[in-house]
Amino acid sequence: MKPVVYVTRTIPEVALTLLRQYCEVIYRDEMAPPSREELLKNVLNVDAIYCTLNEKIDREVVDASPRLKVVGTMSVGVDHIEVEYATSRGVYVVYTPGVLTETTADLAFALMLATARRVVEGDRMIREGKWKLAWAPTMMLGYDVHGKTLGIIGLGRIGVAVARRAKGFNMKVYYYDVNRRKDIEDELGVQYLELQNLLKISDFISIHVPLTPETRHLIGEKELRMMKPTAIVVNTSRGPVIDEKALVKALREGWIAGAGLDVFEMEPLPPDSPLVDLPNVVLTPHIGSASYDTRNMMAQYAAEGIIKVLKGEEPENLYNRDVVKIRPLHLVKMV
Ligand code: GLV
């Protein structure tokens, strides 16, 4: 009998084809994520769940799925999964690190440039028929990016990829991380700073930490007040890392100059969010990894991880390595 995998929503074909070679696939071919009710109902008789970051895989879901052996998420973030609980129940968690690094760093840089150089405001000005002066010495002035100081919060894979790009822009790069990265310091010439010092010194601040209880509201009112009035904050990690209320206040009252945001405390961002009315903010709808190539790679990587576990082999994209002690792989093997 083939293992059963529940795919929560429409995914790239490449992953579906792969899953169908080894599994019986319950495919929910819908762009929107399932309701909580639907999710709980559909996981009842499955061996694997293929999900995205929009489905909360908490203890209730794990408990609703007595046969569950593996959860594969098409994301590098796993904050939507109660990993510790899954581990305690012998449920493997696979994810998609590495394959989206460069694409996400590209977007962080795009947001940095777009916010500093007022690209979206300029576009709006033309579309709204407000471009009256062909060229004017003081029209739409913004901030240079090249040669400025970048503070990276979280020097993991994506933070490093942003640092590499910044070097090409001749930027001075500092970072803060709970782990000191001497290898990267030597290789790229980036310097470590305590968070407060980094906030005070940076022209641009780009956030690349995972969302954990420790990083929730890591950037709040106190931190925003430490930044330069000309600083621009970019967030492509998770919305709740920044206290959004405090950020709105900072942007309105000019404690900082602008923000480029791909992630929000609530997604989709409610249309009545005060962020929408601020001219010094560039907003994108959580598209950090959204290139054709990268989404195909992510989809495939998550599927490969699920299949490996079901074959009784340890996948390289296993997040909770401790799970092998709770349920060894030979006991999971189904294909
Ligand atoms: C996207 O936000 C991801 O975690 O992959």
Residue 323: the pLDDT is 98
How many Å apart are CA 70 and CA 23, to the nearest integer? 13
223-241 residue pLDDT tens: 999 999 999 999 999 999 9
Q: Say if strands 258-261 and 232-235 run parallel, antiparallel, or are unpaired.
A: parallel
Q: In terms of C-beta density within 10 A (0-12 exposed, 13-18 middle, 19 or more buried), how is residue 41 classed?
A: exposed
267 catalytic per annotation? yes
**Amino acid 40: pLDDT:** 98
pTM over 0.95: yes
For residue 286, what is the DSSP state? S
| Angle at the Cα of 255 from the Cα atoms of 127 and 143, rounded to 5 degrees | 50
Cα angle at 109 between 103 and 113, to 5 degrees? 145
Q: Which pLDDT value is given to residue 146?
A: 98
Q: What is the pLDDT of residues 185-233, one digit of tens each?
A: 999 999 999 999 999 999 999 999 999 999 999 999 999 999 999 999 9
Q: How do residues 233-268 score in pLDDT, each as one tens digit?
A: 999 999 999 999 999 999 999 999 999 999 999 999
Q: How far is CA 87 from CA 41, 162, 205, 322, in A?
A: 22, 32, 35, 7
Which atom of ligand 1 sits closest to the CA of residue 236?
A: 2
Phi, psi dihedral angles at 318 (to 5 degrees)? -80, 125
Which one of the listed residues 238, 244, 295, 304 is annotated catalytic? 238
Kindly state the average pLDDT of the residues 4-16. 98
Chain segment 37-72, per-residue pLDDT in tens: 999 999 999 999 999 999 999 999 999 999 999 999
Reported confidence tier of residue 113, pLDDT bands at 50, 70, 90: very high
Active site residue 238: yes
pLDDT at 296: 98
Residue closest by Cα to atom 4 of ligand 1: 77
- In angstroms, the Cα distances linking 261 to 9, 116, 224 are 25, 13, 15
Question: Which pLDDT value is given to residue 55?
Answer: 98
| Atom 5 (ligand 1) nearest CA | 75
pLDDT confidence of residue 130: 98
Handedness of CA 261, 263, 264, 266 (dihedral sign): positive
Return the pLDDT at 63. 98
pLDDT at 186: 96
pLDDT band at 106 (very low <50, low <70, confident <90, very high): very high
**Mean per-residue pLDDT for 271-283?**
97
Q: For the chain, list the domains and their CATH numbers.
A: 4-99+292-331 (3.40.50.720), 101-283 (3.40.50.720)
What value does the mean pLDDT of the chain take?
98
Q: What is the pLDDT of residue 157?
A: 98
Q: H helices of 89-212, where? A: 101-116, 119-127, 157-168, 182-188, 195-201
Pure H helices in 53-173 = 59-63, 83-88, 101-116, 119-127, 157-168
Q: Are 99 and 294 in contact (CB under 8 A)?
A: yes
Name the strand (E) or helix (H) holding 50.
Answer: strand 48-51
Rounded CA gap, 275 and 277, in Å?
5
Q: Is the dihedral of CA 179, 101, 315, 56 positive or negative?
A: positive
Residue that the structure tokens 């106190």 belong to? 222
| Nearest CA among 145, 201, 212 for reference residue 175 | 201
Which residue lies with its CA nearest to atom 3 of ligand 1? 75
Q: What percent of the chain has a predicted confidence (pLDDT) above 70?
A: 100
Residue from 11, 51, 52, 53 whose mutation best tests the ligand 1 pocket (most atoms within 8 A of CB): 53
- Of the residues 28, 286, 295, 304, only one is catalytic, namely 286
Percent of the chain with pLDDT over 90: 100
**pLDDT bucket at 86, cuts 50 / 70 / 90:** very high
